[in-house]
Amino acid sequence: MTQAQYKGTGSATGRTGSRYWRSKTAYLGVIPFLLVSGLFLLYPTWNVASGAFQNNNGKFSTSVLKEVFNSPVARHAFANSLEISAKTALAGAILGALFAWALVNGKQGGYFYRISVALSSVLAQFGGVMLTFAFLATFGFNGLIANIAVKYAPNTFLADASWLYGKFGISVLYTFFQIPLMVLVFLPTLENLKPQWREASDALGGKAYEYWLRIGIPILTPSFAGAALLLFVNSFSAYATAATLINLSDFLTPLQIATALTSETGGANPAEAKALSFYMVVVVVIAMTFYAMLRRRVSKWEQRR
């Protein structure tokens, strides 16, 4: 081998080695994400899963899980959580999809489009104390709309603010931040619908309902169902809004967990709280498993488009 060939081989080897180390160092940026996920997601989940099979003395036991499962109060709260989450997810998915469809049919990139997307990003995070105060100041017993309704429309439901402090009221509040979240999640899918597909359907003599029945709905259904599952999980795990509006320990499971952890009368029961949390984790895992399956199907379609 000549000296020139030897130098060329060495430089190629050096370039290969540098590319190898660059590919490895690129993973360093993932370390902060892994640390945060481990501290605030994996460890709490493991703590709940392992603690659910222990009593308050730290010994292995399934008695607490059985007691919670057979408790009428826990079942009532769990049923309320499932019912409210399902209703608000469905309402938020339908209304959010319609609003996203209106944005897609409008001028994309225009002033109204940009403002709507920006507001959706803000309102999707507008929950907890802020959202509760906004509704109390508007529809509460001393709220603006309630006072106007008492004076001009005393026989309407707006004049009686008691509706705000029950299932219907908490459902309205949850739907308020579910709709903008659905807009953000479902908007990219609608934007991926090619206008050429509608043109091809029209050119072949297809009607509007045939296009949606054979093309549009089959394409959008996995994304819509996945987004609805995401809204369900978002509502199912919500705590601050219900805590500031109702604050009844037997109304929703998250409120019951908080009561079991922070009882001011000496009745705190961490084992019960972990058992309740474990049942919630099971529901979330099932929902997110279906969501991942739907997203996999959608991603395959997006890669082929």
- Extents of the domains making up the chain: 1-51, 62-304
Q: At what angle do helices 72-105 and 167-191 cross, to 10 degrees?
A: 40
Q: Which CATH class is domain 62-304?
A: mainly alpha
**9: Cβ contacts below 8 Å, ≥ 6 apart:** 1
CB 255 within 8 A of CB 77: yes
Of the listed ranges 7-11, 194-198, 296-300, the one predicted with least confidence: 7-11
Tens digit of each residue's pLDDT (9 = 90 or more) over 184-210: 999 999 988 888 888 888 888 888 888
E strands, the chain, are none
SS (H, E, C) 38-76: HHHHHHHHHHHHHHCCECCCCCECCHHHHHHHHCHHHHH
Cα–Cα nearest to 260, from 99, 122, 73: 73
C-alpha 30 chain-centroid distance: 24
| pTM attached to this predicted model | 0.85
Tens digit of each residue's pLDDT (9 = 90 or more) over 11-52: 445 555 566 566 667 678 888 888 998 888 889 889 998 989
